[in-house]
Chains A and B, each alone.
Chain A
Amino acid sequence: EAQVTQNPRYLITVTGKKLTVTCSQNMNHEYMSWYRQDPGLGLRQIYYSMNVEVTDKGDVPEGYKVSRKEKRNFPLILESPSPNQTSLYFCASSMGTGGITGELFFGEGSRLTVL
């Protein structure tokens, strides 16, 4: 089954404790990206990756890191989480070598709470 898988789905952590949210897709997609969703602010792009070893900032990259060492995985790293990073996070992927083309497949989301 074609899917984008995120882990963990739910996490409660404390300020400053490094964490990684993993994202994996099994569709051989070139493009992957991360978003956060907050009430009243909608979905905002954090980082995206056009291909392996190619990443770029979205609209809200501060406090986040990403890496794209292999095509299927695109982890989101919070080196020192803060309460303002409490949010619902989505990973997504799309086929196409030039960025987003056609359907963008989203994962089920990871709800992160930073105390």
Chain B
Amino acid sequence: GESVGLHLPTLSVQEGDNSIINCAYSNSASDYFIWYKQESGKGPQFIIDIRSNMDKRQGQRVTVLLNKTVKHLSLQIAATQPGDSAVYFCAEILSGNTGKLIFGQGTTLQVKP
């Protein structure tokens, strides 16, 4: 499954498929980006991060891609599982202000069995 455009509130995918969640960030001065996962009734949980001097970073079953030209970030989840169902947020941190974190609106990922 793949989200169309820069952001969709909900993405529905079949179990076992790959998921792609997109995020448009707001500030060209941002140089550090983080993806979080929030399950119902819980606090956000760190998934993966990337700095602006990189285009791609891989973790376990997840990959983050950064396109600074169009200020776009994506999170790819391989072989999506029911446990991946959650809301996913991207967040950006401005260069020179490493304490201030700006979150995107979030995308709900629904995994169909």
A106: chain B residues at CB < 8 Å are: 43-45
- Total contacting residues, chain B, CB less than 8 A: 22
B44, B46, B97: the one within 8 Å of A43 (CB): B44
* 1/0 contact string of B85-102 vs chain A (CB within 8 Å): 000010101000111111
Whether a CB of chain A sits under 8 angstroms from the CB of B81 is no
Chain A, interface residues (CB within 8 Å), range:
20 to 34
Contact flags (1/0) for B27-69 with A, using CB distance below 8 Å? 0000010101000001111100100000000000000000000
* Contact in complex: B49, A31 (CB < 8 Å): no
State whether B102 touches A45 (Cβ < 8 A).
yes
Which chain A residues numbered 69 to 115 have a C-beta less than 8 Å away from chain B?
A: 90, 92, 98-109
Interface positions, chain A 39-65, Cβ under 8 Å from B, are: 42-45, 48-50, 56, 58-59
Quick check: A99 and B93 within 8 Å, CB to CB?
Answer: yes
**A-B pairs under 8 A by CB, number:** 63
Q: How far is the CB of B103 from the nearest CB of chain A, in Å?
A: 4
Bound Cα distance A109, B99 (Å): 20
B residues near A45, Cβ cutoff 8 Å: 100-103
- B46 with A48: CB separation less than 8 A: no
A100 near B101: Cβ-Cβ < 8 Å? yes
Cα A91 to Cα B8 in complex, Å, equals 27
Binding site for A on B (CB under 8 A): 32, 34, 36, 42-46, 49, 89, 91, 93, 97-106
Query: A residues near B, CB below 8 A?
Result: 4, 31, 33, 35, 42-45, 48-50, 56, 58-59, 90, 92, 98-109
Q: Which 7 A-B pairs have the closest CB atoms?
A: A99-B98, A106-B43, A43-B103, A103-B46, A99-B99, A48-B99, A42-B105
In the assembled complex, 21 residue pairs joining A and B whose CB atoms fall closer than 8 Å, in A order, are: A33-B99, A42-B104, A43-B103, A45-B103, A48-B99, A48-B101, A49-B99, A58-B100, A90-B43, A92-B44, A99-B97, A99-B98, A99-B99, A100-B34, A100-B93, A100-B98, A104-B34, A104-B36, A106-B43, A107-B43, A109-B42
